[in-house]
């Protein structure tokens, strides 16, 4: 699972700028061991220290103590093994588990598949993309992630999310 990426060097002591996909963004700093992937090559680095810096994050990684070493890690993905993620309570999901699920209304109308999710101030939003062949149309729909209201059922094994949603909306 991709948690974020190293974007560039920060300063002259080997620190790197980090773009985090976690929520909150500082959540990536809770993972002590980072598996970095750059052009198919993998390397492990222990996070020594990290902090918020302006609108982003910066981090110090073990054995990276020069600007050149940090520059060599630019454009590197930060990975985390899915098997090491904490167990969730019933009816809680990691976003990556929902991406790709077929979205079907209670009436059996296929709206499309979950492309991605994003946060808003009120609730998370599911972006459902139709393709016209497998779904009712090729529209993109934004559905609020509201369990027991809009989200009726999530069946990860079957790859289906049942929703209470009007296909015309």
89 within some domain: no
Which of 83, 118, 143 terminates a domain? The answer is: 83
State whether 43 and 100 are in the same domain.
Answer: no
Cα–Cα distance measured from residue 98 to residue 156, given in angstroms and rounded to the nearest whole number = 8
169 within some domain: no
Per-residue pLDDT band for 97 (boundaries 50, 70, 90) equals very high
What total of structural domains would you count in the chain? 2
Cα–Cα distance measured from residue 169 to residue 160, given in angstroms and rounded to the nearest whole number = 20
Please state, rounded to an integer, the average pLDDT across all residues of the chain.
93
State whether 61 and 9 are in the same domain.
Answer: yes
State whether 76 and 13 are in the same domain.
Answer: yes
State whether 76 and 135 are in the same domain.
Answer: no
* Full-model pTM: 0.69
Domain assignment of residue 37, given as a range: 2-83
Residues 6+ apart with CB under 8 A from 19: 4, 5, 7, 56, 57
Look up the CATH number of the domain holding residue 63. Answer: 2.40.30.60
58 within some domain: yes
128 within some domain: yes
More confident residue, 32 or 84: 32
Which of 51, 83, 115 terminates a domain? The answer is: 83
pLDDT of residue 118: 87
Cβ atoms within 10 A of the Cβ of 85, count? 12
Average pLDDT over every residue of 63-91? 91
Is residue 83 predicted with pLDDT exceeding 90?
A: no
> 103-150: per-residue pLDDT in tens?
999 999 999 999 999 888 788 999 999 987 889 999 999 999 999 899
pLDDT of residue 41: 93
pLDDT of residue 94: 87
Which of 53, 83, 113 terminates a domain? The answer is: 83
- Ordered alpha helix ranges (H), the chain: 67-71, 95-98
78 within some domain: yes
Q: What percent of the chain has pLDDT over 70?
A: 100
Is residue 55 predicted with pLDDT exceeding 80?
A: yes
């Amino acid at each position: 699972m991709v948690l974020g990426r190293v974007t560039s060097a920060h300063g002259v002591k080997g620190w790197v700028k980090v773009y985090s996909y976690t929520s909150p963004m500082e959540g990536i700093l809770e993972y002590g061991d980072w598996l970095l992937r750059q052009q198919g090559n993998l390397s492990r680095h222990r996070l020594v220290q990290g902090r918020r810096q302006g609108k982003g994050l910066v981090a110090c990684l073990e054995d990276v103590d020069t600007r050149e070493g940090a520059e060599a890690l630019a454009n590197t993905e930060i990975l985390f093994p899915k098997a090491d993620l904490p167990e969730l309570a019933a009816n809680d999901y990691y976003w990556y588990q929902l991406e790709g699920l077929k979205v079907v209304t209670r009436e059996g109308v296929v709206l499309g598949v979950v492309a991605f999710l994003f946060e808003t101030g009120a609730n998370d939003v599911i972006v459902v993309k139709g393709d016209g062949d497998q779904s009712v149309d090729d529209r993109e729909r934004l559905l609020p992630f509201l369990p027991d209201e809009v989200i009726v059922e999530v069946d990860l094994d079957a790859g289906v999310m049942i929703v209470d949603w009007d296909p015309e909306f």
